[in-house]
């Protein structure tokens, strides 16, 4: 993969979005030979195990390339979504949801069944790297931003298509929505980050995520440029400033007093 090409994508995204963190490229790997040089693995290089969202956070904030396999993963839910861990009956019955996110097993079962996932055992791990340093062909691109920046990405996707974007929310296991769902569905996602992403990925309250399959990159960039040129929507959002403001009655009363006395004489 040509890193100059990826850096060009990053530059074009930032031209219209002015992001405060790196866009992140994600790839699901079937061989450790796919891992580029200087990529860090938490268990080997950092003496820790990470959540998927934690690895994405390091890529977007530190600019590091990260690789997670089964032995690197601290979150069993994220590892199961990646197909790295077995889904035992205890899990599929909803036992990891009940009394935390659902009031009963049936609701927990429905929640677990809804999680986007990769086929069990098909992949060995996941790569996450800042887009401008990416040396692999991504499956998904993840961008965290404020509401206005994510709005612009949504408008860009709809420039040629029209209509709406459909996204899912479950308030947990958002790594599956952010990283996996765009790859398996071919559609972008607007995601309100989950509790785990806020704890381990340290997502801030003002941040929302937008992710899309890498194959949609050119369409989204074209849409960002076209909607920017159209002028109706840009980032930063243009505020309307050509108006006469209103003031408290005492201010307006004083203005009337000044008017009654006539214009101030010059020197």
- Per-residue pLDDT averaged across 39-59, rounded? 97
Average pLDDT in the chain = 95
- 66-69 vs 208-213, strand pairing mode: unpaired
Residues pairing with 27 in the sheet: 127
Distances (CA, A) of 265 to 255, 256, 261: 17, 17, 11
Whether pTM > 0.85 for this model: the answer is yes
Residue 47 backbone zone (phi > 0: left; psi -120 to 50: alpha; other: beta): left
Q: Which of 79, 81, 110 is nearest to 93 (CA)?
A: 110
The per-residue pLDDT for 233 is: 85
In a domain, 150, yes or no: yes
- 66-69 vs 125-130, strand pairing mode: antiparallel
The per-residue pLDDT for 39 is: 97
Residue 206, Cβ density class (10 Å: 0-12 exposed, 13-18 middle, ≥19 buried): exposed
End-to-end CA, the chain: 72
The per-residue pLDDT for 198 is: 97
Q: What's the number of domains the chain is made of?
A: 1
Distances (CA, A) of 76 to 24, 30, 86, 122, 216: 22, 19, 9, 17, 30
In a domain, 266, yes or no: no
- 125-130 vs 140-145, strand pairing mode: unpaired
In a domain, 267, yes or no: no
Please give the share of the chain, as a percent, with pLDDT higher than 70: 99
Rounded to an integer, what distance in angstroms lies between the CA atom of residue 233 and that of residue 100? Answer: 40
**Any idea which of 60-64, 128-132, 241-245 has the lowest mean pLDDT?**
241-245
In a domain, 145, yes or no: yes
**228 pLDDT more than 80:** yes
For 106-120, letters b (16+ CB in 10 Å) and e give eebbebbeebbbbee
In a domain, 190, yes or no: yes
- Per-residue pLDDT averaged across 60-89, rounded? 97
- Per-residue pLDDT averaged across 146-174, rounded? 96
**267 pLDDT more than 70:** no
In a domain, 81, yes or no: yes
Cβ contacts of 31 within 8 Å, gap of 6 or more: 124
- Per-residue pLDDT averaged across 149-154, rounded? 98
The per-residue pLDDT for 48 is: 97
**5 pLDDT more than 90:** yes
- Per-residue pLDDT averaged across 54-78, rounded? 97
β strands within 75-134, DSSP E? 125-130
The domain of 42 spans 3-261
- Per-residue pLDDT averaged across 93-114, rounded? 96
Residue 231 backbone zone (phi > 0: left; psi -120 to 50: alpha; other: beta): left
Helix (H) or strand (E) holding 219: helix 217-230
In a domain, 203, yes or no: yes
In a domain, 111, yes or no: yes
The per-residue pLDDT for 248 is: 96
The per-residue pLDDT for 1 is: 66
Tokens coding 175: 């790594």
Helix (H) or strand (E) holding 3: helix 3-17
The per-residue pLDDT for 264 is: 77
**238 pLDDT more than 90:** no
- Per-residue pLDDT averaged across 215-220, rounded? 98
Q: pLDDT-based confidence at 6, cuts 50/70/90?
A: very high
């Amino acid at each position: 993969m040509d890193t100059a090409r990826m850096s060009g994508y990053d530059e074009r995204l930032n031209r219209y979005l002015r992001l405060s963190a790196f866009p992140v490229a994600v790839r699901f790997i079937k061989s450790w030979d796919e891992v580029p040089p200087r990529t860090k693995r938490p268990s080997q290089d950092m003496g820790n195990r990470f959540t998927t969202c934690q690895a994405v956070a390091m890529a977007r904030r530190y600019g590091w390339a990260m690789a997670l396999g089964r032995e690197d993963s601290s979150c069993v839910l994220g590892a199961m979504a990646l197909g790295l861990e077995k889904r035992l009956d205890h899990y599929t019955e909803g036992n990891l949801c009940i009394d935390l996110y659902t009031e009963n097993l049936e609701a927990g079962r429905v929640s677990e069944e809804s999680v986007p996932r990769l086929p069990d055992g098909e992949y060995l791990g996941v790569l996450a790297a800042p887009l401008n340093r990416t040396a692999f062909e991504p499956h998904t691109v993840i961008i965290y931003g404020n509401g206005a920046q994510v709005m612009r990405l949504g408008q860009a996707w709809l420039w040629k298509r029209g209509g709406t974007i459909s996204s899912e929310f479950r308030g947990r296991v958002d790594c599956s929505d952010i990283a996996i769902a765009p790859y398996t569905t071919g559609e972008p996602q607007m995601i309100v980050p989950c509790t785990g992403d806020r704890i381990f990925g340290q997502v801030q309250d003002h941040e929302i995520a937008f992710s899309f399959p890498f194959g949609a990159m050119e369409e989204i960039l074209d849409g960002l440029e076209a909607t920017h040129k159209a002028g109706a929507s840009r980032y930063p959002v243009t505020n309307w400033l050509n108006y006469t403001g209103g003031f408290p009655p005492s201010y307006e009363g004083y203005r009337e007093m000044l008017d009654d006395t006539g214009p101030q004489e010059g020197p």
